Amino acid sequence: EPEVTQTPSHQVTQMGQEVILRCVPISNHLYFYWYRQILGQKVEFLVSFYNNEISEKSEIFDDQFSVERPDGSNFTLKIRSTKLEDSAMYFCASTRQGGNQPQHFGDGTRLSIL
Amino acid sequence: GENVEQHPSTLSVQEGDSAVIKCTYSDSASNYFPWYKQELGKRPQLIIDIRSNVGEKKDQRIAVTLNKTAKHFSLHITETQPEDSAVYFCAAGSGGSNYKLTFGKGTLLTVNP
């Protein structure tokens, strides 16, 4: 069964540095999502993306965050100037259609900000 | 925006017993309610979901019920096994084309052998 894949599995970065998290959605999917989970807490929505545009974003997704689909397969999340509180697991998901479709998560990237 | 409350935060049962986890949501526009199981250090894994036009759905030992009027939905696990031990998250989906999931805070289920 096709899966969402994410790289790297673990990223350690100095505070203030830029970081790019990568996701390869399932190949025929058109809707893409990023979520984060701070250790021991619930999963939180960050952003949804369709047709090369952000569809929806949460309050967490401020000006330091951006998303991009640079080619036909990758979907990236960039944090421009990382803060300590950005330390979390970041999960990518994709769906073929929009709306109430099952969202299957990738294995996530653990981001540690020092 | 949507708010999802989940109870209990921890649940301990004996192997073979049933487990029930309950969630409430606030946005009457929410129309999709998935449940995820997360083992330590792993991704949330979708185990069952229900859409708002259905009141109950079952998949082997797992069932989900939805009460739209009361805005609550529940996960039922029967004949629990030690491998069911994990954190379970409920979520509510809404937004039309700007779709997103809002998660509950999770329930740590421990099944004692």
Q: Residue B52: its pLDDT value, please? A: 84
The two tokens of residue B66 are: 């939805």
Calculate the CA dihedral of residues A44, A47, A49, A54 and round it to 10 degrees. Answer: 160
Strand pairing class (A10-13; A109-113): parallel
Residue of B nearest to A109 (CA): B43
**% helix / strand / coil in chain B, to the nearest 5?**
5, 60, 40
Per residue in A29-51, pLDDT (tens digit) is 999 999 999 999 999 999 999 98
**Are B100 and A44 within 8 A, CB to CB?**
no
Chain A residues with CB under 8 Å of B36 CB are 43, 105
Residues of B contacting chain A (CB within 8 angstroms): 31-32, 34, 36, 42-46, 49, 51, 89, 91, 93, 95-106
Gyration radius of chain B's alpha carbons: 14
Put residue A28 in one of left, alpha, beta given phi > 0 → left and psi -120 to 50 → alpha. Answer: alpha
CA atoms within a 13 Å half-sphere pointing along the CA-CB vector of B28? 2
Map residue A85 onto helix, strand or coil. helix
Of the candidates B89, B97, B100, which has its C-beta nearest A42's C-beta? Answer: B89
Contact B92, B98 (CB under 8 A): no
Tracing tokens 């540095």 back to the chain, one arrives at A17
Average pLDDT over residues A99-113: 93
Q: B89, A48: Cβ pair inside 8 Å?
A: no
Residues of B in contact with A41 (CB under 8 A): 105
Per-residue pLDDT, B97 = 65
Which pLDDT score is estimated for B1?
84
Distance between CA atoms of residues B56 and B58, nearest Å? 7
- Which chain B residues have a beta carbon less than 8 Å from that of A94? none
Residues above pLDDT 90, as percent of chain A: 83
In the predicted model, what is the mean pLDDT of residues A67-90?
Answer: 94
What value does the mean pLDDT of chain B take? 94
Summarised one tens digit per residue, pLDDT across range B59-95 is: 999 999 999 999 999 999 999 999 999 999 999 998 7
Q: Give residue A100's pLDDT.
A: 86
Q: Which of B2, B43, B47 to mutate to test the interface with A (most CBs of A within 10 A)?
A: B43
Chain A residues inside the 8 Å CB shell of B32: 99-101
